[in-house]
């Protein structure tokens, strides 16, 4: 019976010994691998040091010479032209991906090969999105029930409701307003439909201003006539007249109101002078998130990694060749 128990392959003592033996072999393999790795780097310390220095130098050079820059142009689309603006940017983005430098040159961009990408995003302003009547508040509350409010605001269906938008242009070199931004804005404003719309809108505003200015001139005429007729009266007589003519105060208030409206109309006329009007720009900001900014750290590791790979490959090839020759 004892012999049968010794020959039993399911003996747990034998299984535990096998497991511990394999664990010991694994740790022995780890120790051997660690020792060989350390010995390899000690043996090739000069080569590894040179590769590290070369990698750092190459990364620094590429970071300085081939740096990417970010251009931000804040624009306001007028006449409900937000969809038009986004479609134009998408079209330009496709031309950049296709590297269609001929088209980009045709719209006035001097160095189209230096443009990496173009995108557009809204300037998120919830206060302006929720207007005074609160018409958009209920809509946002309803949409936020099915997701995060911040992400919903940035969705394409929502972001076009914002007044301001930022065009983000990434380039491999510095740009100037004359050679890049102005041609871009000119291209975005090139629309026969919106040109006619802009002309009609400008005429309407101008006519409105003229009408209000004519009304103010009539009011001034009335006030001048009053001053001329009753200017020679005594102070007591003027006071009595002012008290009896209560409508004079309303006339003066009407003039002030018209003056304020004219000021607002002139601002509106300026803000709507173009279909896509530029509100500000920040040019030639270095993109610190770009991969090229990290090349100074990546290239040394890449060079050393390639050296290690080829060294082990050559060593493996020599050993296998020796085995093949012995056979």
**Per-residue pLDDT averaged across 103-111, rounded?**
92
Burial 139-173 (b: 16+ CB within 10 A, else e): eeeeeeeeeeeeebbeeeebbeebeebbbebbbee
Which pLDDT belongs to residue 243? 46
Which tokens in the block code for residue 140?
């946002």
Name the pLDDT band for 250 (thresholds 50, 70, 90).
confident
Residues 6+ positions from 296 with CB-CB distance below 8 Å: 56, 59, 60, 63
- 209 close to 266: Cβ distance less than 8 angstroms: yes
> Is the confidence at residue 3, as pLDDT, over 50?
no
Which pLDDT belongs to residue 38? 85
**Per-residue pLDDT averaged across 71-82, rounded?**
93
CA atoms of 312 and 237, how far apart (whole Å): 113
Q: How far is CA 150 from the centre of its chain?
A: 16
What's the pTM value of the predicted model, to 2 decimals?
0.64
Which pLDDT belongs to residue 292? 56
> Is the confidence at residue 307, as pLDDT, over 50?
yes
Instruction: Write out pLDDT tens, residues 11-46.
Output: 555 566 676 677 777 777 888 878 888 888 888 889
CA atoms of 22 and 27, how far apart (whole Å): 9
């Amino acid at each position: 019976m004892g012999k049968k128990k010794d020959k039993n392959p399911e003996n747990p003592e034998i299984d535990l010994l096998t497991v511990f033996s394999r664990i010991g072999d694994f740790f022995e393999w780890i120790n051997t691998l660690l020792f060989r790795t350390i010995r390899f780097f000690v043996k090739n310390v000069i080569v590894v040091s040179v590769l590290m220095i070369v990698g750092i130098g190459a990364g620094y050079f590429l970071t300085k010479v081939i740096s990417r820059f970010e251009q931000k142009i804040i624009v306001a689309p007028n006449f409900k032209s937000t969809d038009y603006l986004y479609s134009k940017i998408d079209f330009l983005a496709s031309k950049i991906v296709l590297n269609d430098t001929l088209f980009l040159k045709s719209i006035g961009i001097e160095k189209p090969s230096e443009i990496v990408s173009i995108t557009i995003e809204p300037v998120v302003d919830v206060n302006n999105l929720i207007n005074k009547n609160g018409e958009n508040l209920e809509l946002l509350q309803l949409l936020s029930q099915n997701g995060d409010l911040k992400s919903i605001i940035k969705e394409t269906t929502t972001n076009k409701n914002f007044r301001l938008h930022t065009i983000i242009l990434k380039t491999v070199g510095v740009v100037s307003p004359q050679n890049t931004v102005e041609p871009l804005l000119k291209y975005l404003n090139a629309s026969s439909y919106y040109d006619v719309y802009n002309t009609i809108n400008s005429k309407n505003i101008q006519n409105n201003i003229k009408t209000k200015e004519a009304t103010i001139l009539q009011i001034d005429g009335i006030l001048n006539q009053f001053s001329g007729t009753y200017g020679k009266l005594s102070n007591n007589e003027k006071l009595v007249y002012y008290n009896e003519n209560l409508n004079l105060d309303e006339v003066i208030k009407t003039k002030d109101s018209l003056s304020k409206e004219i000021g607002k109309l002139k601002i509106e006329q300026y803000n709507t002078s173009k279909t896509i009007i530029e509100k500000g720009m920040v040019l030639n900001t270095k993109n610190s998130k770009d991969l090229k900014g990290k090349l100074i750290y990546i290239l040394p590791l890449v060079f050393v990694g390639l050296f290690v790979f080829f060294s082990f490959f050559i060593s493996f090839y020599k050993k296998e060749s020796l085995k093949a020759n012995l056979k």
